[in-house]
């Protein structure tokens, strides 16, 4: 009996510790006005992106869901309209696996929309494979597609005045590493048939997100546009839909017990989108609705510059 009580105490203590650290919850308190403003959310048809879209639509924003699947987007739009009463939500086709698709999205957006106030680079995946142009899919989707999208829309963001770019990263950046020579030669951050191998590449792609935001902030100085990267927490989303069956069997029970729901996972994104007065923190990393320090390798100016220049080359933006 005593042993059972001790075991229960240990399990309860472990649960409480995890819910106050790795699975800690937070609440956005930002209240910036969004009526009349236009927002793009990549991957806005599901998970954190959909929860973010729901909140911003409720605040009166014009929300553009930039995603691949038209039918899923239509379902998401119907859900958001029903929940918020907004009729100002649009779908625009965007496949981050294709730089050509990114270019087509940008062309359409610039021709049909007069302003852009907020760009949320939300979409991401854990998977193995290649993009249309032959890049590792995690590098291509999680970083390169968003890099091209952001760079192509910066002028429109500047025109609106006070625009923001929010890029979803992850605490997984801590385990990331960028081999620039291998990246230039092979166009990927790592590959392999085992899920732990493409999880390592995922970590490296999240490091790319942090370095991208770090360098973007320097590029944006004096423009009125600011940028932030976000760890949303450990959230139940479709991010891991490509992992193996046995891993899903192992992960699902833990996910339902501990992982954050998408609404909770959207709070730090919303904080960086809506909180007034954080402009001096442009380029920084946020978690639990607060700025956090990052590891030295994630604020390496030389690495951030290299990544930017290589990304420009890959996207055809280099002079």
Residue 123 lies in a domain: yes
Percentage of the chain surpassing pLDDT 90? Answer: 75
* Element of type H or E holding 90: strand 89-93
Side-chain half-sphere CA neighbours of 58 within 13 A? 14
Mean pLDDT of 28-42: 94
> Known catalytic residues?
202
Residue 30 lies in a domain: no
Residue 304 lies in a domain: yes
Residue 142's nearest CA partner among 196, 109, 97 is 97
Whether pLDDT at 241 is above 70: no
Whether pLDDT at 215 is above 80: yes
Range of the domain at 293: 35-315
DSSP per-residue codes, 91-116: EEE--TT-HHHHHHHHHHHHHH-S--
Any idea what DSSP says for residue 276? Answer: T
Residue 16 lies in a domain: no
CA distances from 5 to 10, 13, 277 (A): 9, 12, 49
For residue 196, what pLDDT is reported?
67
Whether pLDDT at 103 is above 90: yes
* Measured distance between the N- and C-terminal CA atoms of the chain, rounded to whole angstroms: 73
Whether pLDDT at 296 is above 90: yes
Give the C-alpha separation, 82 to 61, whole Å. Answer: 15
For residue 249, what pLDDT is reported?
46
For residue 142, what pLDDT is reported?
97
Q: Which pTM was predicted?
A: 0.87
**42 vs 247, residue with greater confidence:** 42
Percentage of the chain surpassing pLDDT 70? Answer: 83
Give the C-alpha separation, 39 to 247, whole Å. Answer: 35
Whether pLDDT at 246 is above 50: no
Do 30 and 268 form a contact (C-beta atoms < 8 A)? no
Whether pLDDT at 71 is above 90: yes
For residue 160, what pLDDT is reported?
86
Residue 194 lies in a domain: yes
Residue 119's nearest CA partner among 81, 151, 91 is 151
Q: Return the CATH number at 273.
A: 3.40.50.720
**262 vs 157, residue with greater confidence:** 157
For residue 260, what pLDDT is reported?
75
- Pull the structure tokens for residue 87: 């009729």
Residue 92's nearest CA partner among 127, 117, 62 is 62
pLDDT per position as a tens digit, 126-154: 888 999 999 999 999 999 999 999 999 99
For residue 2, what pLDDT is reported?
63
Whether pLDDT at 208 is above 60: yes
Q: Which residues pair with 290 in a beta bridge?
A: 287
For residue 10, what pLDDT is reported?
44
pLDDT band at 3 (very low <50, low <70, confident <90, very high): low
Residue 13 lies in a domain: no
Give the C-alpha separation, 45 to 67, whole Å. Answer: 7
Whether pLDDT at 277 is above 60: yes
Residue 64's nearest CA partner among 101, 37, 38, 35 is 38
Mean pLDDT of 249-274: 73
For residue 6, what pLDDT is reported?
52
pLDDT band at 19 (very low <50, low <70, confident <90, very high): very low
Q: Domains in the chain: how many in total?
A: 1
pLDDT band at 229 (very low <50, low <70, confident <90, very high): very high
Mean model confidence pLDDT for the chain: 87
Residue 237 lies in a domain: yes
Residue 168's nearest CA partner among 107, 216, 123, 226 is 123
CA distances from 7 to 4, 21, 237 (A): 5, 21, 31
* Element of type H or E holding 42: strand 38-42
For residue 291, what pLDDT is reported?
97
Residue 216 lies in a domain: yes
For residue 161, what pLDDT is reported?
87
Scored b (16 or more CB within 10 A) or e, 97-132 reads bbbebbeebbeebeeeeeebbbbbbbbbbbbbeebe
Mean pLDDT of 234-240: 54
Backbone angles phi, psi at 271, to 5 degrees: -60, -45
Give the C-alpha separation, 313 to 319, whole Å. Answer: 9
């Amino acid at each position: 009996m005593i042993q059972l009580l001790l075991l229960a105490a240990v399990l309860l203590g472990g649960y409480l510790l995890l819910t106050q650290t790795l699975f800690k919850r937070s609440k956005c308190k930002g209240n910036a006005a969004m009526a009349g403003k236009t927002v793009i959310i990549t991957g806005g048809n599901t998970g954190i992106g959909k929860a973010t879209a729901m909140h911003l639509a409720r605040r009166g924003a014009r929300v553009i869901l930039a995603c691949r699947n038209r039918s899923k987007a239509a379902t998401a739009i119907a859900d958001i309209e029903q929940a918020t009463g907004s009729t100002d939500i649009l779908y625009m086709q965007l496949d981050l696996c294709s730089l050509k698709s990114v270019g087509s999205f940008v062309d359409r957006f610039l021709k049909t929309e007069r302003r852009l106030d907020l760009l949320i680079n939300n979409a991401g995946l854990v998977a193995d494979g290649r993009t249309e142009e032959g890049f590792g899919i995690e590098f291509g989707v999680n970083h390169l597609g968003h890099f091209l999208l952001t760079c192509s829309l910066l002028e429109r963001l500047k025109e609106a005045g006070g625009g923001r770019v929010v890029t979803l990263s992850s605490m997984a950046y801590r385990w990331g590493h960028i081999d620039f020579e291998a990246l230039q030669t092979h166009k990927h951050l790592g590959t392999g048939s085992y899920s732990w191998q493409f999880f390592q590449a995922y970590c490296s792609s999240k490091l790319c997100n942090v370095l991208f935001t770090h360098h973007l902030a320097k590029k944006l100085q004096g423009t009125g546009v600011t940028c932030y990267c976000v760890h949303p927490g450990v959230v139940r989303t479709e991010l891991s839909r490509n992992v193996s069956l046995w891993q899903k069997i192992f992960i699902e029970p833990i996910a339902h017990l501990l992982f954050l729901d998408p609404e909770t996972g959207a709070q730090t994104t919303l904080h960086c989108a809506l909180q007034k007065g954080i402009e001096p923190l442009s380029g920084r990393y946020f978690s639990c609705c607060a700025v956090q320090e990052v590891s030295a390798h994630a604020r390496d100016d030389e690495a951030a510059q290299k990544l930017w220049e290589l990304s420009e080359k890959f996207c055809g933006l280099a002079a």
